[in-house]
Structure 1
């Protein structure tokens, strides 16, 4: 017993390096410190999840402009109507089997997993279902909608020359004065261009030439430059209200504090850096991409692009499709966001819509309504009716 006590007391009082290492390994292997230092999951503070650009809104209070935001709400409300109208119009006899329609949630614009019949029944004046001789249920337009489509066709015929000029201006803005026909077709509703425009262009050989490339892609080329069309909306406005156009875009001069300028002198200096305007009908592809002049050009292009649209607005996918033709960059969103005097961006960071503010009055109504816009608004009214109101 005395020997054992002697050995133990010696070990404790003069621990060797080997003893210390064994003790450390032993204590780590059987450590109970986690009982004290670990915080139970239920008491852990949750990290705030970063909002996705898919859902993060571009604008928040107090910068929201309600009448612009309400237009996007209207777009969402009538997405099924507008997409189904386009899809059905291109089908043989303008009909579609209900079973097939149920598989086309994206082309028809109804939510995935929902019954398409529910969306059809929301618009009884526009769409109807009926049982065909094959005992299958089919979807088609009502007789009332057929009459509306005839009216829309008349509008397209009446405004054909006006739409032709819009396409000519788009070609004149493009880098090589040529745009794939498919791009114009994909964005035709934006400009009021009719469904059969690809067939109509052959009627205007003095303006357009269709070139088929080796891969089969059809390219629309400009035949003749028209100086009278190469005047932007901003340049026309400049002749009427010079000060207003000078204030359209803001390009602050980066100058040192040593200048000690007062407000008025700084405003005049900034004004010098705002002008002159760079015409969107000049060749922007030759500009140094990151210069102030190139940014003025790109802003002018987007401004003119929006001025040519029916509703003086466009979504990101509309603008991105012409990125190469108009020498735009991936920073278009940030560029437009800085110019709040002229543009209003709504929606989410991933799916934003840009409005040309001057195209709208204080009440949120378009200053100039194209006949196609008037027709669309009437269609929306009918689409929300369960039956025709007696006059």
Structure 2
């Protein structure tokens, strides 16, 4: 167990630059570019952050500032905007596979089957109803509430948030921990259900989890596993060991 704890500590140290980058992107998604540190700490396992991340943010003054909000909470603020980070996972994939990304989201536009559309108009309508029009790194406050553009923005924000998580999935309370910062609404379950190409939802409407479909293979396993995910899998194997398994493992080691 001591060796496992030491391995976990080394992993968190090695992965810290990657986690800092993910938190910077999360702050760039957030309204006013700030998030209470307590919220990040509560969701640290989902984001792959070390337990002492709240203390270690001060090691990165070029990336973060720690301030106190009017409610007396410690908040983490973005120190600088980086245009290179303001690119969503979908936008990166768009360059590689435009056709697949265009099919990721579908926002149906009601129209008659007999609606006369030439090829150019049909392509334009298809582009408007599939690929999100608004980058999640723009300000959602500029959009009119309850419009298709606002819904596309919110769905895109959730997609990008999930892409920053350790296992490309999250529970409802992890997502709604950042409800105010990300401009989400209580109708997100219904919005995400309509996007079956992008998300898989499990559970009930009151207690659900959401997965990024493209991150998982046909066997239900992650296509690309973070080193911390691999470590957690090893930890679970140790936890499920029987006394006989343990004896055999020790004998093999010797």
TM-score under structure 2 length normalisation: 0.91
| Change in 2 beyond 3 A, CA 1:276/1:363 | closer
2:224 is equivalent to residue 368 of structure 1 = yes
Structure showing the higher helix proportion among its residues: 2
SS of the aligned residue for 1:190 comes to helix
Give the match for residue 225 of structure 1: 81
After superposition, the C-alpha distances for 1:128-181 in whole angstroms (9 at most, x for unaligned) are: xxxxxxxxxxxxxxxxx2321111111001111111111100000001100000
- C-alpha distance in structure 1 between counterparts of 2:128 and 2:148, whole Å: 12
- C-alpha distance in structure 1 between counterparts of 2:101 and 2:217, whole Å: 17
CA contact (8 A) 1:172 1:281 kept: yes
CA contact (8 A) 1:188 1:195 kept: yes
2:27 is equivalent to residue 171 of structure 1 = yes
**What is the aligned counterpart of 1:292 among 148, 171, 174?**
148
| Change in 2 beyond 3 A, CA 1:373/1:299 | same
- C-alpha distance in structure 1 between counterparts of 2:76 and 2:146, whole Å: 29
- C-alpha distance in structure 2 between counterparts of 1:286 and 1:199, whole Å: 34
| Change in 2 beyond 3 A, CA 1:283/1:268 | closer
1:275-286 equivalence runs, <5 A: 275=131, 277-286=133-142
Q: Runs of 5+ in structure 1 lacking a partner?
A: 1-144
Which of the two has higher C-alpha Rg? 1
**What is the aligned counterpart of 2:56 among 200, 205, 227?**
200
| Change in 2 beyond 3 A, CA 1:385/1:357 | same
CA contact (8 A) 1:343 1:356 kept: yes
Say what the alpha-carbon RMSD is for the aligned residues: 2.0
After superposition, the C-alpha distances for 1:268-325 in whole angstroms (9 at most, x for unaligned) are: 6333333453111111122112111111111111111011111100000001111111
- C-alpha distance in structure 2 between counterparts of 1:185 and 1:312, whole Å: 18
SS of the aligned residue for 1:189 comes to helix
Moved over 4 A (4+): 265-268
After superposition, the C-alpha distances for 1:338-365 in whole angstroms (9 at most, x for unaligned) are: 0001100012222100000111122222
2:100 is equivalent to residue 244 of structure 1 = yes
- C-alpha distance in structure 2 between counterparts of 1:157 and 1:366, whole Å: 23
Give the match for residue 206 of structure 2: 350
- C-alpha distance in structure 2 between counterparts of 1:237 and 1:360, whole Å: 16
CA contact (8 A) 2:132 2:156 kept: no
TM-score under structure 1 length normalisation: 0.60
Q: Runs of 5+ in structure 2 lacking a partner?
A: none
CA contact (8 A) 1:253 1:270 kept: no
Give the match for residue 186 of structure 2: 330
Tell me how far 1:226 sits from its aligned partner.
0.8
SS of the aligned residue for 2:156 comes to helix
Give the match for residue 341 of structure 1: 197
Tell me how far 1:267 sits from its aligned partner.
7.5
SS of the aligned residue for 1:159 comes to helix
- C-alpha distance in structure 2 between counterparts of 1:278 and 1:272, whole Å: 11
2:169 is equivalent to residue 308 of structure 1 = no
- C-alpha distance in structure 1 between counterparts of 2:240 and 2:48, whole Å: 23
